């Protein structure tokens, strides 16, 4: 179980991406029932580390702290090559079984350590081709927000680092804890879609909040019939217009989005209640245990029963 996290920095670190992992893993949320992690920012040696924004960080921990961590985070560090001490620390962490998480161009540091070879991975959409060219033994997946390749998790741009961090929290401590952290950070517990929605145009042609009332209504009516025709009437649109607008605003289809929300609610009910699985299946809108099991196992990699055994409060 995740208890000890180190963020690894060297000259050129991007402070915003560093802030993502500090916020995700370093903040004390014990008052909300979230486990407090032993968190530290580490460098080759204690002392100043230059950021790419013209100011320095006062880093107080050296690489000995990385050797203790269950999870080592590598924020975006775009300038130059990583010092050999950083590469060796990452390789040693990997060899002893620690998980590694990169944010944005931090994937290049993992690649330099040989930790992307033979794995699927990602980075910011601007750099995916460069990552593939630089590390040809890696399989770069450009269209996703993050890739969980088991021991190595890589994420796309800044906000995707939050998605990946919440994913790690969810795996290690369950959906209820991840949802509390997301609520405190004022972000969705899980985003659907991928980087493709940001590549073609940075700003959607439609207003970003056009469907917000409908999405909120869906969240309150997951057990109902939520076909496109029903939702289109709710949005006062023709079905084809609604389906097109939904993909533009969420990056995915209505069916995929609703399925993800139903799985999310099923997680919470499996953790926090002792209701039977067939009741949960009906309550979240899957109708029967077999459909719940199919979607839940596809998304989470565990059956509902196995998930409950691992994460029940």
The mean predicted confidence, pLDDT, of the chain is 89
227: Cα within 13 Å, side-chain hemisphere: 5
**Predicted pLDDT of residue 192:** 61
Higher pLDDT, 167 or 208: 167
Which residue is it, tokens 């940001």? 198
Tell me the pairing of strands 71-74 and 56-59: unpaired
Q: pLDDT-based confidence at 195, cuts 50/70/90?
A: low
**Using 50, 70 and 90 to split pLDDT, how confident is the model at 259?**
very high
For range 290-294, the mean pLDDT: 95
Return the pLDDT at 186: 86
Which two tokens mark 45? 């040696």
Residue 259: how many CA atoms within 13 Å on its side-chain side?
17
Q: Alpha carbon of 229 to those of 155, 207, 232, 239, 289: distances in Å?
A: 35, 22, 5, 6, 25
What was the pLDDT predicted at 224? 94
DSSP state of 82: P
- Residues facing 40 on adjacent strands: 6
Report helix, strand and coil shares of the chain as percent, to nearest 5.
50, 15, 40
Q: What is the mean pLDDT of residues 201-218?
A: 62
- For residue 205, the model assigns a pLDDT of 36
Q: Residue 33 in 3-state DSSP?
A: coil
> Strand 99-102 relative to strand 38-42: parallel, antiparallel, unpaired?
unpaired
| Average of per-residue pLDDT across 218-241 | 93
201 class by beta-carbon count within 10 Å (0-12 exposed, 13-18 middle, 19+ buried): exposed
Pairing of strands 47-50, 56-59: antiparallel
* All domains of the chain in start order, with CATH: 4-185 (3.40.50.880), 205-313 (1.10.10.60)
Map residue 74 onto helix, strand or coil.
strand
**Element containing residue 271 per DSSP (H, E):** helix 254-272
What pLDDT sits at residue 207? 39
Give the CA count within 13 Å in the CB-facing half-sphere of 93: 33
Beta bridge partners of 71: 5, 99
Q: Which residue has the higher pLDDT, 249 or 288?
A: 288
- DSSP, res 13: B
Q: Answer whether residue 144 shows pLDDT above 60.
A: yes
CA angle 222, 183, 197 (to 5 degrees): 70
Q: How far is it between the farthest Cα atoms of the chain?
A: 61
- 7 burial via Cβ count (<10 Å: 0-12, 13-18, 19+): buried
pTM: 0.71
Half-sphere exposure of 25 (CA within 13 A, CB side): 33
Partners of residue 8 on adjacent β-strands = 42
Stretch 211-231: mean pLDDT? 91
In percent, the amount of the chain with pLDDT more than 90 equals: 72
Q: What tens digit of pLDDT does each residue of 103-117 get?
A: 999 999 999 999 999
């Amino acid at each position: 179980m995740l208890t000890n996290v180190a963020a690894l920095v060297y000259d050129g670190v991007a402070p915003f991406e560093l802030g993502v992992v500090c916020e995700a893993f370093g903040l004390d949320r014990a008052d909300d029932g979230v486990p407090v992690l032993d968190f530290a920012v580490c460098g080759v040696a204690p002392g100043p580390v230059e950021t790419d924004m013209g100011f320095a960080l006062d880093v107080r921990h050296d690489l000995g702290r990385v050797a203790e961590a269950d999870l080592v985070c590598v924020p975006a560090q775009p300038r130059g090559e990583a010092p050999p001490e950083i590469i060796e620390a990452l390789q040693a962490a990997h060899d002893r079984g620690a998980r590694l998480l990169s944010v944005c161009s931090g994937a290049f540091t993992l690649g330099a350590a040989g930790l992307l070879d033979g794995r699927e991975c990602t980075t910011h959409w601007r750099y995916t081709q460069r990552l593939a060219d630089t590390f040809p033994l890696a399989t770069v997946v450009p269209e996703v927000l993050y890739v969980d390749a088991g021991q190595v998790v890589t994420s796309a741009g800044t906000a995707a680092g939050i998605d990946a961090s919440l994913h790690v929290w969810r795996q290690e401590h369950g959906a209820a804890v991840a949802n509390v952290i997301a609520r405190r950070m004022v972000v969705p517990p899980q985003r659907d879609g991928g980087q493709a929605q940001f590549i073609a145009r940075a700003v959607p042609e439609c207003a970003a909040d056009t469907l917000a009332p409908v999405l909120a209504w869906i969240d309150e009516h997951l057990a109902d019939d939520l076909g496109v025709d029903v939702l289109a009437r709710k949005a006062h649109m023709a079905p084809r217009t609604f389906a097109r607008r939904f993909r533009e605003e969420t990056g995915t289809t209505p069916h995929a989005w609703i399925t993800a929300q139903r799985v999310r609610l099923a997680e919470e009910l499996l953790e926090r209640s002792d209701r039977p699985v067939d009741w949960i299946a009906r309550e979240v809108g899957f109708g029967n245990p077999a459909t719940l099991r199919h979607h839940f196992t596809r998304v989470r990699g565990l059956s509902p029963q196995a998930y409950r055994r691992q994460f029940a409060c």
